[in-house]
A and B are shown apart, each in its own frame.
Chain A
Amino acid sequence: MAPEATAAGAAREPASWKEMMAVYFARRLRDGERIVSGNHTEISYGAAMLAQLGHAPNLRIQFGGTGWLCNLVGREVWGIPRTSTEYRILDWAEAYVDHHEMFLFYGAAGGGRDYYEHPERYADSNRWFFADHFFVGGLQVDYRGNVNLIGIGEGTDFTMRGPGTVGINDIVSVRDVSIFMTAHDTKRFVEQVDYVSTMGPAGWREKGFRGNGPQRIVSPRGVFDFTGPGMTARLRGVFPGHTEQEIAEHTGFPVERSGQFAEIAPPTAGELTRLRSIDREGVLRA
């Protein structure tokens, strides 16, 4: 059986929570935008690949720490990378940048805040720089949008040591940071994180960072934006099969609706078929 036929058949199975999140992220990516996909992020890899092979063929993607700039249009897609050093990513690459030199690409066109306030003024630029989208995961997130990857504990006494901040705090020049949480409960959605790996949007503004910082928290249950007082979290949407009541019960801070609250439309058959033709090894359904 051809892989496409398998994928089309499989699209009749309901979307997994990872697939829902990937499709949600893919819909946020516009053609021509620039994106860096970080580590341990099969969901963000899937989202970027889905968008580039669908509505955004000019999406500029850097995959993980290997510094390969990739365009998958017209290439055979074997699946979603297992790690960001996955050597098979080479098959889609058109350029390579040493990892430490990736940081030379943090400066957006215009040099200041202008790019982030008026991205349309730079729509004619075909250049690669790292300014539109980034995805960060966390052990904890709080209602200000602070993210913690360092651990649980106090000072250097860790009751649980996390993997480390990786590079998420280095990124102070991104328009739209999406925080993705792979589980949603009161241990992870907290009033105040134990450690700050990267700040929420008010912190970015206060410290004079060029980018806008976190704009969404996305979990398997739903989505928050930062339209509350002082750029705090508000419930923006609920994934199919989940409820506001359930989200409130599993969140460690008060949950109130955003002015733009809406139920999130489930993946269309077309989106799911395409995503499953990309995710041949089924990592989003594992």
Chain B
Amino acid sequence: MWKTDESGRRVVLASAAEVAGRVEDGMTIVLGGFITANHPMPIVRELVRRRVRDLTVIGAATAGLDVDLLIGAGCVRKLIAPYVGAELYTPIGHCFRRAAERGELEIWESSEYIMYAGLQARAMGQDFVAWQGGIGTSIPELNPDLKVFESPLGDGKEYIAVPAIGADWGFFHVGVADCYGNAQHLGARFGDRLMARAADRVAVCAEKVVPNEVIRRDPMRTTIPYADAVVEAPYGSHPYSSHGCYGEDAAHIRAYVAASEAYRKGDEAAFEAYLAEWIDGPEDHAAYLDKVGTRTLLELERAYAGMTSGRPLREVGAHGSGGMR
């Protein structure tokens, strides 16, 4: 049942379409990255293209417009995330807001650590984790899964029992990975390591697939070992940034915000046009990148390299992984 190489070791290279094909209607997925960085967009776009239905989507702790896109495309029944938006681009995701205000989205009301506590409980094999943050707020009233209890230590303080939350699949975007599923971030890791631990199966999109020897040069940097699938996806976080590699595409993000804002205000055609142009139109990730254009991609790389101290890209790469370039 496994694909193996000549050594007998399991090889997990896959396409985004193959990974998305293993996601069934009604499953729970957890998505990594943070706001405008490191989202596994080829898998997200495949899920939208297939119009997978009734997903429960977890995360990120500060979820970006990747989750907003899934909501807008009608893929999400239930959301477990304490924020959806993109800060200065848009403080609230418009599709999220539209769905919530129309009663089309079940929101598992939470906060950053209430969400993490649930994932941590699952990761540790516990039924719940106790957390004080959220006591006295509306969160336990809006989320009946959260049980308020009095501390058994006898000081009368209240705590929340946050039940374990797990996922069928976790999807993440990293810098490099090998064919055996060993993945290394090249910049910030956000909550990815914990989220990956709480998922039954994990797929990573990697900017570059590197030989196992490159991973072994610095095993301390391996953040997600033994993923179930590795999708080679250069520029795979576009339009969001990929730490260590390139910056976010502000113009594209603004175009998405404009389309989704129009959608929230009743102009469904504007959002359909975005989906048709950027999701349904390009047949795969390479076709998507063709559409974005080489010039834009190079500019986003240059933007990352051009941090004002003038640190060149190769040095940033070395700071991440010697094998990157």
Task: Give me the interface of A with B, judged by CB distance under 8 Å.
Answer: 39-40, 42, 65-68, 75-76, 78, 82-88, 90-91, 96, 98-100, 103, 150-151, 155-172, 195-199, 203-204, 206-209, 283
B190 and A98: CB pair below 8 A? Answer: yes
In the complex, which residues of chain A have a beta carbon less than 8 angstroms from the beta carbon of B119? 100
Since A83-B86, A170-B114 are in contact, a sample of 17 more A-B pairs with Cβ atoms closer than 8 Å, ordered by chain A residue number, is: A40-B88, A66-B190, A85-B36, A88-B307, A90-B243, A96-B188, A99-B61, A100-B119, A163-B84, A163-B91, A165-B82, A167-B82, A169-B133, A195-B138, A195-B142, A204-B136, A208-B156
Q: A96-B188, A159-B101, A203-B136 known; A164 and B88 CB under 8 Å?
A: no
Q: What is the 8 Å Cβ interface bit string for chain B, positions 225-269, against chain A (1 contact, 0 not)?
A: 000000000000000010100010000000000000000000000
Contact of A85 among B34, B107, B142 (CB under 8 A): B34
A76 and B139: CB pair below 8 A? Answer: no
B187 and A90: CB pair below 8 A? Answer: yes
Q: A40-B87, A150-B109, A199-B136 known; A162 and B142 CB under 8 Å?
A: no
In the complex, which residues of chain B have a beta carbon less than 8 angstroms from the beta carbon of A209? 132, 135
| A-B CB contacts (within 8 Å), total count | 178
Stretch at the interface among B20-28, B92-100, B213-221, B281-289: B92-100
B37 within 8 A of A: yes
In the complex, which residues of chain B have a beta carbon less than 8 angstroms from the beta carbon of A198? 137
- Min distance, Cβ B174 to any Cβ of chain A, angstroms: 14
Contact of A167 among B101, B113, B190, B307 (CB under 8 A): B113
Q: In the bound complex, what is the Cα–Cα distance between A142 and B96 (angstroms)?
A: 26
Q: In the bound complex, what is the Cα–Cα distance between A278 and B47 (angstroms)?
A: 42
A166 and B112: CB pair below 8 A? Answer: yes
For B157, the closest partner residue in chain A by CB is A208
A85 and B188: CB pair below 8 A? Answer: yes
Contact of A100 among B84, B85, B193 (CB under 8 A): B193
- Min distance, Cβ B156 to any Cβ of chain A, angstroms: 7
- Min distance, Cβ A72 to any Cβ of chain B, angstroms: 12
A283 and B88: CB pair below 8 A? Answer: yes
Within 8 A of A (CB), among B114-141: 114, 116, 119-120, 131-139
Contact of A84 among B35, B111, B309 (CB under 8 A): B35
Q: In the bound complex, what is the Cα–Cα distance between A263 and B132 (angstroms)?
A: 38
B172 within 8 A of A: no
Q: A65-B34, A91-B309 known; A199 and B137 CB under 8 Å?
A: yes
Q: A85-B34, A158-B101 known; A163 and B92 CB under 8 Å?
A: yes
Q: Is the interface of A mostly helix, strand, loop or mixed?
A: loop
Within 8 A of A (CB), among B271-323: 304, 307-309, 311
B103 within 8 A of A: yes
- Min distance, Cβ A76 to any Cβ of chain B, angstroms: 5
Q: List 30 A-B contacts (CB under 8 A).
A: A40-B87, A65-B34, A68-B188, A75-B309, A76-B309, A84-B34, A85-B37, A87-B188, A87-B304, A91-B309, A98-B193, A99-B34, A99-B190, A100-B193, A156-B103, A157-B103, A161-B96, A161-B101, A163-B83, A163-B85, A163-B93, A165-B109, A166-B62, A166-B111, A168-B111, A170-B111, A196-B136, A196-B137, A199-B137, A207-B157
A161 and B62: CB pair below 8 A? Answer: no
Please name the 10 residue pairs, one residue from A and one from B, whose CB atoms are nearest each other, closest first.
Answer: A167-B112, A170-B133, A161-B100, A85-B37, A170-B113, A195-B138, A83-B87, A164-B83, A100-B194, A208-B157
B308 and A76: CB pair below 8 A? Answer: yes
B62 and A65: CB pair below 8 A? Answer: yes
Task: Give me the interface of B with A, judged by CB distance under 8 Å.
Answer: 34-37, 61-62, 81-89, 91-93, 96-97, 100-101, 103, 107, 109-114, 116, 119-120, 131-139, 142, 155-158, 187-194, 241, 243, 247, 304, 307-309, 311
In the complex, which residues of chain B have a beta carbon less than 8 angstroms from the beta carbon of A162? 92
For B88, the closest partner residue in chain A by CB is A82
A103 and B116: CB pair below 8 A? Answer: yes
Contact of A65 among B35, B92, B139, B247 (CB under 8 A): B35
A90 and B158: CB pair below 8 A? Answer: no
For A103, the closest partner residue in chain B by CB is B113
Q: In the bound complex, what is the Cα–Cα distance between A209 and B113 (angstroms)?
A: 16
Q: In the bound complex, what is the Cα–Cα distance between A83 and B139 (angstroms)?
A: 25
Q: In the bound complex, what is the Cα–Cα distance between A207 and B309 (angstroms)?
A: 47
In the complex, which residues of chain B have a beta carbon less than 8 angstroms from the beta carbon of A103? 112-113, 116
Q: In the bound complex, what is the Cα–Cα distance between A122 and B103 (angstroms)?
A: 50
Q: In the bound complex, what is the Cα–Cα distance between A283 and B308 (angstroms)?
A: 18
Q: A99-B191, A167-B61 known; A87 and B243 CB under 8 Å?
A: yes
In the complex, which residues of chain A have a beta carbon less than 8 angstroms from the beta carbon of B137? 165, 169, 195-199
- Min distance, Cβ A280 to any Cβ of chain B, angstroms: 10
B307 and A91: CB pair below 8 A? Answer: yes
- Min distance, Cβ A74 to any Cβ of chain B, angstroms: 11
Q: In the bound complex, what is the Cα–Cα distance between A195 and B108 (angstroms)?
A: 15
In the complex, which residues of chain A have a beta carbon less than 8 angstroms from the beta carbon of B93? 163
For A67, the closest partner residue in chain B by CB is B188
Q: In the bound complex, what is the Cα–Cα distance between A263 and B8 (angstroms)?
A: 76
Contact of A83 among B89, B114, B135 (CB under 8 A): B89
In the complex, which residues of chain B have a beta carbon less than 8 angstroms from the beta carbon of A207? 132, 135-136, 157-158
In the complex, which residues of chain B have a beta carbon less than 8 angstroms from the beta carbon of A167? 61, 82, 111-113, 133
In the complex, which residues of chain A have a beta carbon less than 8 angstroms from the beta carbon of B87? 39-40, 82-84
In the complex, which residues of chain B have a beta carbon less than 8 angstroms from the beta carbon of A156? 103, 107, 142
Among A156, A171, A199, residue most surrounded by chain B Cβ atoms (within 10 Å):
A156
